[in-house]
């Protein structure tokens, strides 16, 4: 019950890392606002939490729209009264194409979900956390920012942007009791992770230094990152690579 009494918003909660984080947080006593654009998956996560005796609400959320992220934050306040934790885990990595082949629409979609979505989620909860005088936000980057195969220009650019954005916010809000940490995993065995690999050679190239992590293991790391004492490490990056 490490998170007893705390309220956590988790985006991308329908599957993958987001779902694993939502379930783990609930087991640790948090009241969880599960957010995703996927109704079926998001409601499944909420039902599983409730069936295990936890407390959760599902809010259908398109993280690329500021009105929907604002509604997400307001729902957390209306249902549970505060927001102590945000994990904006919603993301996509469905384009395997080089700089000359990726379309403008594919580029825009990747940047909108993977970077703008993080910005809008943070901007929606930060006034609440500042007013409270405390909060922890964990953003998710990627080992792609260190060295993946070259055919992920939009995804890699977005994940580099997540690191820069998070570190800027860490400095901006350092006197307000709000902490920011960056989780930079290698390959995580999720539906998104699996669809990112077109062949075994590609997979081996990516995982040789990072190994393969289960989403539940990623959730365990993130659980430790949202501990209040991690405030003093605000702006730091937590890696999972073996290199």
Domain 7-239: CATH superfamily is NAD(P)-binding Rossmann-like Domain (3.40.50.720)
Give the pLDDT confidence score for residue 243 in this predicted structure: 41
DSSP, collapsed to helix, strand or coil, labels residue 102 as coil
> Is 155 known to be catalytic?
yes
Distances (CA, A) of 140 to 3, 18, 57, 184: 20, 10, 22, 6
The per-residue pLDDT string of the chain (243 residues; one tens digit each, 9 = 90 and over) reads 999 999 999 999 999 999 999 999 999 999 999 999 999 999 999 999 999 999 999 999 999 999 999 999 999 999 999 999 999 999 998 888 889 999 999 999 999 999 999 999 999 999 999 999 999 999 999 988 887 667 889 999 999 999 999 999 999 999 999 999 999 998 787 676 656 665 555 666 566 666 788 999 999 999 999 998 999 999 999 998 654
Residue showing tokens 């885990």: 89
Q: Where are the domains positioned within the chain?
A: 7-239
From the list 182, 16, 169, 167, the residue with the least C-alpha distance to 90 is 16
Contact 18, 36 (CB under 8 A): yes
From the list 102, 99, 65, 72, the residue with the least C-alpha distance to 86 is 72
Q: Which of 96, 152, 155, 232 is catalytic?
A: 155
Residue showing tokens 């783990």: 24
Which residues share a beta bridge with 188?
A: 213
Structure tokens of 201?
Answer: 């050679």
Give the pLDDT confidence score for residue 100 in this predicted structure: 95
């Amino acid at each position: 019950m490490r998170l007893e009494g705390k309220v956590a918003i988790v985006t991308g909660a329908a599957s993958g890392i987001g779902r694993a984080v939502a379930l783990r947080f609930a087991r640790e006593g948090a009241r969880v606002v599960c957010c995703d654009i996927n109704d079926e998956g998001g409601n499944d996560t909420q039902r599983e939490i409730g069936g295990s005796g936890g407390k959760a609400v599902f809010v259908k959320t398109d993280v690329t729209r500021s009105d929907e992220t604002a509604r997400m934050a307001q729902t957390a306040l209306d249902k549970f009264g505060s927001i102590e934790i945000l994990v904006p885990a919603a993301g996509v990595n469905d384009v395997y194409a080089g700089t000359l082949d990726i379309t403008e629409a594919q580029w825009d979609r990747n940047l909108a979900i993977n970077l703008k979505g993080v910005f809008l989620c943070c901007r929606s909860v930060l006034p609440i956390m500042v007013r409270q005088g405390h909060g922890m936000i964990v953003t998710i980057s990627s080992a792609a920012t260190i060295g993946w195969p070259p055919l992920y220009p939009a995804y890699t650019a977005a994940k580099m942007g997540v690191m820069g954005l998070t570190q800027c916010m860490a400095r901006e809000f350092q006197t307000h009791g709000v902490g920011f940490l960056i989780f930079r995993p290698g390959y995580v065995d999720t539906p998104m992770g699996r669809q990112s690999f077109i062949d075994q050679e590609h997979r081996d190239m990516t995982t040789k230094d990072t190994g393969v992590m289960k989403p539940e293991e990623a959730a365990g790391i993130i659980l430790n990152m949202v501990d209040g004492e991690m405030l003093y490490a605000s702006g730091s990056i937590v890696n999972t690579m073996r290199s």
